[in-house]
Structure 1
Amino acid sequence: MADKNDSTYKPVATPVDDYQLEEGAKVAGKPNSFMQIVILGFVCFGCPGMFNAINGLGGGGQVDSTVSSNSNVALYATFAFFSVFSGSIHNYLGPRLTLFIGGLPYVLYIGSFLNYNHTLNGTFVIVAGGILGVGAALLWTAQGAMVLSYPTENEKGKFISTCWIIFNLGGVLGALVPFILNYNSEAGAVNDGTYIAFLIIMVCGAALALFMKNPSSIIRSDNTQVLYPKSASVKEEVLGLYHALFDWRMLCLIPASFASNFFYQYQFNGVNGYLFTLRSRSLNGTLYWGMQMLAAFVFGNYVMDKESLSRQLRGKLGLGIVTFFTFLAWILGVILQKDYDRDNKHYDRIDFTDSSRAAFPMIVFLLYGLVDAVYQNYVYWVIGAMSNDPLELARFVGLYKAFQSAGGAISWKVDVWGVDYMTQLVVDWVLMAVSFPFMYLVIRKLPNIST
């Protein structure tokens, strides 16, 4: 066997069912792998969860969405670039430090909106967005590597969905904050108190990362130890990244990666931000992220971890469910979208109390949340089925976030360009539809084991 320091060394993707876990007796006092994922979920709750809540209001809670959209372009551009290398950075620093460093820029980002309320300094918001892209690349790569490396083979759906549920609880509670604080307000932008509340929660979320335990001290539910080595050298990481990038399975996941965040801009600005009053946007955000929690729980625990089905069959069933709800949501979205467009500058915003107008668009927005949850949870499950090697998973997740963020950067720029909403909807739908046959190619090659 070639030594890893030898120039001929080539990392090889390890099939999940062939990857041998280190045997170890359960040691009293050793951290439980599931509890570590719960803590990880609360880190995500405090940082990206709060980010999603404020972003879901449309325009970052501001009347003019242009500054927020330009900030998101900068965010996703740097997110895409640094995600290519974030897996390798994570493999050197380890998950705890990577999470902490990745969480700090979220605080700066919300601070820039607080500053904007007083100075209208859009440049600061855009720069803060660019810096946040670097932090998000690190945080999400560490998150992905942990939720795919810590569970046993038949718990991956549970671990992915648990982290997703707690993370989106941040979106639910974060959306409730502006709903309560601005319930009696006629203003179109959120107040200082809202941003300060978000800022405090983000500080706590970033700090919580420091309480994560070293992976080597963690025991899984089957009493095996988590194998989470660090890279031996820069050369090993460069080779590993190269082979991960050109792994045919990763290439097949590029369409899904690119599409998986592309729709946020349209849904947040073109639907929620455009159609509804501020307090209704906040309520919609609560329901949107709440639906994500419910969908992730059911999909992860009762479909993707169904032990009576082989892994390949679970993959096919999951893909069928994701495809069905994706098409249902976008078909209903077309019915909603045909009645308005962004050129109508004097649109009478909908309040949730007007049930005759609010019911259908709120249901559509709720379905958008459901689709986001099952789609992204499914992609994570597919990546987790490709390997159990933490170093390799970190690279796969980093590349997934890179292409995802490239799509996000383009989508927010589309909003800045003023592209009409129906065109945006069709593009979002087509991108997701194109990804399904490519994911099927990966699924049909999975070893057909039962756990």
Structure 2
Amino acid sequence: MPIPPAYPHNELADTDLHPIEQDRKDPDGKQGDTEDAVEAVPDQGYDPFEVDQKYLVASKSTKFYRGVLLQMILFGTLALVGPSMADAISNLGGGGLSSPYLANLANSLSYTMSCLLTLCGGPLINKIGIKWACLIAAIGMPLAPSGYYTSARLGIDWYLLLSRTVGGLTDGFLYIGESTAMLSYPLPDERGLYLGIWSAMRNSGSILGGAINYSTNFSKETAGGIAWSTYLVFVGFSATGFIWALLLSPTAKVRRRDGSRIPSSARMSWKEEFVALWRHLQKPRTWLMFVPAFYSFFIGGTFGTYLSLNFSVRSRALSSLIVPTITVPAVLLYGKFILDRKSWSQKKRAWICAAAWVIPQAAAFIWVSIEISKQQNPLIAYDYGIHGARWAEAYLPYLIIFVTCYWCQLSIYWILGTFSTDVKSSARTGGLFRAFETAGQAVSYGINANSANKNVPMWINIGVFVAALPCLFFLIRLVPEQPKEHDDVVEADGIKPAVPVASGALVA
């Protein structure tokens, strides 16, 4: 059989693609754009992961459009207009409503649905592709702010609960899509920088949201709910999500800076995908990841309630601006100068990055416990213009916890990326990580939806933090010196890919 040309031309992409990466044609002969159109290819003696020389000599605009940097910016923008806008509302404490308990219940329902969706995230992403997952997520982005608006303006609480439930499902598609890309798209020594860019973009949305919050609520020095018009601005920004999702390139067309493609193992059937997911669930590192992932954003419900009950409306609005403004440079510096420091081994970087967030968070928990012991009955809504130093004293542990929680998330992402850069393996790992993370958020908001005892959730949060430490310790001990470019879990169990692997060796 004659060997086909190694790189047939693709005019749309202005780059030459390998036969295994060409889009599947429809019956009319037109090119489709199905990301996962990868068939088992017979032994023809080529390596689907070799450097794309045509990409390296392509125009700057083509290289940028298909490059990893733009993909990370687009994922960050999607997070900015979607989850980040929801975070900006949550950062007001209790969703900005006069009482935090309804918002906590709504968030608990949202994260429960996200958890259920992301638990099967690996098979879903590997079958429908990252771009389609993000398009589905974009449809549900305006639901959260519209739900808060109807509750604040019209008193329709059932729609808030429904919108957060449906939005939780659609958000799950974005969670697994972006996590898969974070783990597999960048080169290993650039992952920290790109994680930082994505996190900075996400928090830029919270800066924008915080500015909106503060500009519409700066005169409210008492407790209560925010101005209902605030939510309409969030609806407008969230509605743009579909545009950014459409601009994403399918994974098969994405190129790294050195011209290499994204490693991807063989296409599997639905049954094989779930078998592979089950094999990942059986591995010790998956369950060592569980508690740290469960803890990573557990603080959302606990400290959101703390903010809502103890601070004035304008202090909460100011907080929603302060936290992301500090977080953006913090995550960029953290990714570039700690996670990507080449002079340190991967394991050394893992230990240092863990210490960077564990130590300040332990101090913040001790600090906030002291603050809780000073609470008066009834609670005082601290305001920066009235209480001054007392406001700062009570607010600083909240600020430390929220800034370092993003370091915690980036650290776990980076650690998981040290095991494999294969996109399908990353989908399974990333889906499970987001499932565990959203499970923690669901529980956190759930236990804060009851006003019976305001301080019990904080003690539970501290307990989860303590439980995460030994799991993190043993997980870091498993970090290899170099990540594999295939699914090491599936391969270790004797399932070999049907297409050439990244090393160029051909297997049956």
Structures share fold, TM-score greater than 0.5: yes
Match of 1:190 in 2: 226
Offset, 1:136: 1.6
What are the within-5 Å matches in structure 2 for residues 17-416 of structure 1?
Answer: 21-25=49-53, 26-28=56-58, 29-30=62-63, 31-185=66-220, 188-228=224-264, 231-270=267-306, 272-340=307-375, 344=377, 346-354=378-386, 355-416=388-449
Offset, 1:206: 3.7
Query: Could you report, residue by residue, the CA deviation over 1:145-202 in whole angstroms, capped at 9, with x for unpaired residues?
Result: 1111111010111111110011011112101101001222467322232111000111
Q: Partner letter of residue 352 of structure 1?
A: Y
CA distance in 1, matches of 2:144, 2:170: 11
CA distance in 2, matches of 1:100, 1:429: 37
CA distance in 2, matches of 1:195, 1:27: 47
Query: Could you report, residue by residue, the CA deviation over 1:260-286 in whole angstroms, capped at 9, with x for unpaired residues?
Result: 12211111112x111111111011111
CA distance in 1, matches of 2:77, 2:278: 33
Match of 2:25 in 1: none
CA distance in 2, matches of 1:442, 1:329: 24
Offset, 1:210: 1.1
- Compute the RMSD of aligned alpha carbons: 2.1
Aligned to 1:433, which of 451, 463, 466?
A: 466
CA distance in 1, matches of 2:221, 2:328: 30
The alpha-carbon distance between structure 1 residues 113 and 125, as it changes in their structure 2 partners (threshold 3 A), is same
Is the 8 Å Cα contact of residues 88 and 209 (structure 2) preserved in structure 1?
yes
Larger deviation: 198-207 or 21-30? 21-30
Offset, 1:249: 0.8
Q: Partner letter of residue 281 of structure 1?
A: R
Q: Partner letter of residue 69 of structure 1?
A: N
What SS does the aligned partner of 2:481 have?
coil
CA distance in 2, matches of 1:194, 1:61: 10
Q: Partner letter of residue 423 of structure 2?
A: P
Offset, 1:370: 2.0
Q: Name structure 1 gaps, 5 residues minimum.
A: 1-18
Query: Could you report, residue by residue, the CA deviation over 1:221-273 in whole angstroms, capped at 9, with x for unpaired residues?
Result: 22212235684311221111111111211111011121112211111112x11
Query: Could you report, residue by residue, the CA deviation over 1:7-45 in whole angstroms, capped at 9, with x for unpaired residues?
Result: xxxxxxxxxxxx995332224123221121012111101
Q: Relative contact order (C-alpha < 8 Å, sep 6+): which is higher?
A: 1
Q: Partner letter of residue 290 of structure 2?
A: I
Offset, 1:127: 1.3
What SS does the aligned partner of 1:226 have?
coil
What SS does the aligned partner of 1:253 have?
helix
What SS does the aligned partner of 1:386 have?
coil
CA distance in 1, matches of 2:337, 2:389: 35
Is the 8 Å Cα contact of residues 76 and 409 (structure 1) preserved in structure 2?
yes
CA distance in 1, matches of 2:178, 2:428: 12
CA distance in 2, matches of 1:230, 1:35: 26
Is the 8 Å Cα contact of residues 265 and 422 (structure 2) preserved in structure 1?
no
Q: Partner letter of residue 22 of structure 1?
A: E
Q: What is the total number of aligned residue pairs between the two structures?
A: 429
Offset, 1:137: 1.2
Offset, 1:139: 0.6
Larger deviation: 94-103 or 39-48? 94-103
Is the 8 Å Cα contact of residues 80 and 402 (structure 1) preserved in structure 2?
yes
Is the 8 Å Cα contact of residues 221 and 383 (structure 2) preserved in structure 1?
no
Q: Partner letter of residue 194 of structure 1?
A: T
Is the 8 Å Cα contact of residues 171 and 289 (structure 1) preserved in structure 2?
yes
Is the 8 Å Cα contact of residues 371 and 394 (structure 2) preserved in structure 1?
yes
CA distance in 1, matches of 2:356, 2:221: 41
Identity of aligned residues (%): 22
The alpha-carbon distance between structure 1 residues 48 and 230, as it changes in their structure 2 partners (threshold 3 A), is farther
What SS does the aligned partner of 2:99 have?
coil
Structure 2 length-normalised TM:
0.80
CA distance in 1, matches of 2:476, 2:330: 21
What SS does the aligned partner of 1:295 have?
helix
Is the 8 Å Cα contact of residues 221 and 315 (structure 2) preserved in structure 1?
no
Query: Could you report, residue by residue, the CA deviation over 1:299-330 in whole angstroms, capped at 9, with x for unpaired residues?
Result: 21111110001111111111222221221221
Offset, 1:424: 2.1
What SS does the aligned partner of 2:358 have?
helix
Structure 1 length-normalised TM:
0.90
CA distance in 2, matches of 1:155, 1:339: 45
CA distance in 2, matches of 1:314, 1:104: 38
What SS does the aligned partner of 2:268 have?
coil
CA distance in 1, matches of 2:454, 2:332: 31
Q: Name structure 2 gaps, 5 residues minimum.
A: 1-46, 485-508
What SS does the aligned partner of 1:63 have?
coil
Offset, 1:140: 0.8
Q: Partner letter of residue 118 of structure 1?
A: R
